[in-house]
Chain A
Amino acid sequence: MRKLALRTVALGYLALILLGPLSVVFWRAFDKGVGPAWTAVTTPDAVHAFKLTLEITAIAVPANTIFGVLCALLIVRRPFPGKGVLNALVDLPLALSPVVVGFALFLLYGRTGWFGSWLSRHGIQVLFAMPSMILATAFVSIPFVVREVVPVLREIGTDQEQAAETLGASQWQVFRRVTFPAIRWAVAYGVVLTTARSLGEYGAVSVVSGRLAGQTETATLYVSDRYENFDIVGAYAASVVLALMAIVVLVTMNLLRPKEGVH
């Protein structure tokens, strides 16, 4: 009886907060049939926006993955002064407003910023262009690979690595043959989280991009642009595409999760 009551509360809450709203989005997008929705997501601006999002993700995710694995190795395997600061900086994007992230980049690369005047003298456009959008995306998605790999590295310990070294393996061989096979599922899970965060980034990119349709507009910016221009079908249709991408991410997360009991 009590079980049933709790189940009703839990599922009822999820229906109100999650499933209800989400199904209405799908329904709204296809309100006037599949045709208009399809047209809305295949306009040149829409296609450009989704392409830009994928390009930014394709750069930010590998960069953060390499950084994440190396950073996790440092945190777990090598004591050094300032480790606390490093840890804090890696975690910060989890708790910091994306608008503040975008604004910080805006200040650094803007005309009056530390790098701004040097960059403009050399004709390099960072702000209101793709480089700043990549930087913003990399900032917000930096913690995930690190946070997934660190606990696994701690758990596996150094016995096997030391054995390999004693047997004459080089550092690279130790990493490739011993360490990496042990952490690969954690890395994969971290990559999925990083990708999800990158695809969905809105606030930080919104500040640094300048939001020029067909130029510096990502998929999420395109959604808000359509909404602000009262193109409801366009906004909801692009939302549905992003939601489908999120569902793919979700399925991948669940396929990877049981492998090592991460999270």
Chain B
Amino acid sequence: MSPFGGLTLGFVVTYLSLIVALPLAALIWQSTKSGATGFWQSLTSPEAVAALKLTLATSLAVALINAVTGTVIAWVLVRDEFPGKGVVNALIDLPFALPTIVAGLTMLALYGPRSPVGIDVAYTRTAIVLALLFVTLPFVVRTVQPVLQELDRELEEAAESLGASNWQTFSRVVFPNLLPGILSGVALAFAKAVGEFGSVVIITGNIPFKTEVSSVYIFGQIESGNTSGAAAASVVLLAISFGILLLIGALRRWTTRHHA
């Protein structure tokens, strides 16, 4: 059954090609222009490698922190009762709604040179982690929360009545059910962190080999006219994004099969 026939298909394919596919094709084409050796040289330039390593390390750290804090926040929002819970729940989405450049300035305001609490981490790697923690906050919370809401509490009560400790109930009953949600939230947070630009560009000062992440490195190469360098690094980020999306897709199929 076709809702609007071939016209819909034609429109959707044309729009998606124009907005997404063609620009990406132009990017991949550009990266092949300088040949395999040229591409490899751009890819392995010391500054590009340092930026990529830093990006992956900070993103991984942020994803892992989110796995813990996101789960705790989701648990508190579902199982705990306290005044103002509704407001806290709404605030979780703020990092999504807030422009990333404002997020960067926001972190700088509290943890920068003129910090009212005397903590100044501006232009350090800690600043990158803080900014990334801000922008990735919603992901794990919002993937774990619905699973916790639907989780049958009788299972936990049964475990407890059979003499399981709190920790045993969590690790053997609750956690296995939450795991797929945690993993897909972590994967999304990691993807977001790898590509993040607006929130880190101000607070890190972009010092090559020290605080320069890949997206900022690419931006710098575009500004200085090094198109092949920017293209090679961009293709790496593109490949990482695709990889993570494939992973999330596989995770989703795995969970639906498990529930069926």
Contact residues of A with B, CB < 8 Å? 2-3, 6-7, 9-11, 13-14, 17-22, 24-25, 27-28, 63, 67, 70-71, 73-74, 77-78, 80, 86, 88-101, 103-108, 113-114, 135, 138-139, 142, 158, 161-162, 171, 175, 179, 193, 196, 199-203, 206-207, 219-220, 223-224, 227, 235-236, 239, 242-243, 246-247, 249-251, 253-254, 263
Contacts and interface: CB of A to CB of B under 8 A. Distances in A.
Interface string B2-43: 111100110111011001111110110110000000000000
Contact of B9 (A67, A80, A92): A80
When A and B form their complex, which 5 residue pairs have the shortest distance between CB atoms, in order from nearest? A97-B195, A200-B99, A104-B23, A95-B191, A203-B197
A99 B218 contact: yes
Nearest to A22: B106
A19 B4 CA distance: 47
A250 B93 contact: yes
A70 B134 contact: no
A175 B206 CA distance: 51
11 contacts: A14-B91, A24-B106, A70-B8, A95-B195, A95-B242, A99-B195, A105-B23, A107-B227, A139-B23, A220-B198, A242-B98
A170 to B, nearest CB: 11
A91 B247 CA distance: 13
Contact of B97 (A7, A11, A91, A250): A250
A25 B105 contact: yes
Interface size class for chain B?
35 or more
Interface of B: 1-5, 8-9, 11-13, 15-16, 19-24, 26-27, 29-30, 69, 72-73, 75-77, 79-80, 82, 88, 90-91, 93-102, 105-107, 109-111, 116, 130, 133-134, 137, 142, 146, 166, 188, 191-192, 194-198, 201-202, 214-216, 218-219, 222, 227, 230-231, 234, 237-238, 241-242, 244-245
B215 A17 contact: no
Q: By DSSP majority rule, is chain A's interface helix, strand, loop, or mixed?
A: helix
A83 to B, nearest CB: 11
A86 B8 contact: no
A25 to B, nearest CB: 5
A175 B69 CA distance: 43
Nearest to A222: B101
Given A9-B72, A224-B202, A97 B231 contact: no
Given A90-B16, A139-B20, 11 more contacts: A18-B134, A24-B110, A92-B241, A97-B218, A97-B237, A107-B23, A107-B26, A114-B26, A139-B19, A220-B100, A253-B97
A14 B72 CA distance: 11
A235 B105 contact: yes
Given A25-B109, A67-B15, A70-B8, A246 B94 contact: yes
B198 A103 contact: no
A78 B222 contact: no
Contacts of A249: 97
Contacts of B75: 6, 10
Contact of B99 (A108, A199, A247): A199
Contacts of B166: 2
B75 to A, nearest CB: 6
A136 to B, nearest CB: 9
B26 A74 contact: no
B26 A158 contact: no
A48 to B, nearest CB: 17
A261 to B, nearest CB: 8
A223 B218 contact: no
Contacts of A96: 195, 237-238, 241
A113 B97 CA distance: 33
A78 B244 contact: no
A17 to B, nearest CB: 5
A107 B33 CA distance: 12
B102 A242 contact: yes
A200 B97 contact: yes
Nearest to B90: A254
A179 to B, nearest CB: 8
